[in-house]
Structure 1
């Protein structure tokens, strides 16, 4: 049986996204000095599900870019590099348990649940600090971070931002949400 040839409609969005990603990759070469776009593109073309995830990251304002390569697995690491927390992913509490616990004024979703539905991970505190070495992010916003279990068990969650030229990591109730707080995603390709 012959496989169906992709239609122009199914190819165009991926092609457009690859163009956007290549332009960003070239513009911000300092984020990934040892990586070659041809290798990144080959990995992306071999992983259509990852491309769809990157489309979601882009569509929600994340401006994903390559930030490095995992030394053990060789995976290419993409993260949201928008100056502020992605606008299409704000006003979220931390996770599903926090969302369920709210009695009134529930947000539309939680950061963990939305990340899972997109196929991405929230940045850890360490990853967030490493990202901040590549630029100045969250100078007017903040981003939920993957929270250690011992903090989450006590009802809290952590988030980060950059103020006064420094990176801060704070805590908040996991059920809180703000229009200026979203989350930054990490995708492994």
Structure 2
């Protein structure tokens, strides 16, 4: 009888260890690499949006459809698509409820925060990339709006707003990452 109880306790201990190991494996194989790739995307956004601000603030060229910032946005979108797609490649990894907050916060990070009307140049921007789409569309709207007197100042204001939205959404992703990390490895 004591031998059976000891075997049962050993089986329970092995089951608990397996459960802990599989949670650590989810952290190592899914959560940690997806967060690392997400941080790379976020850092790329911050770097490029800083460059957009500098172009807008320091350019002697008036804000118009030929302004170099518009071409830079299109090129940055094209050459960073792989970074964004890599983040989304992790999304379907787990349908577990514990991952839903983390996954949804990443999706919200890439969703549009500013509603801009459709504009002809949208096909040049590659999704998921709403921050650049928002900026590009917003700049086109500013350029087209005859009622805006200081177009450069309005463009700078819009760029800063989008960066602040990215930072707020990054914080939500980070909070969900830390919560899920604690759940998986603690």
TM-score, with structure 1 as normaliser:
0.26
Select the structure that is richer in helix: 2
Q: Which has the larger radius of gyration?
A: 2
Q: Which structure carries more strand by proportion? A: 1
The alignment's TM-score, normalised by the length of structure 2, stands at 0.26
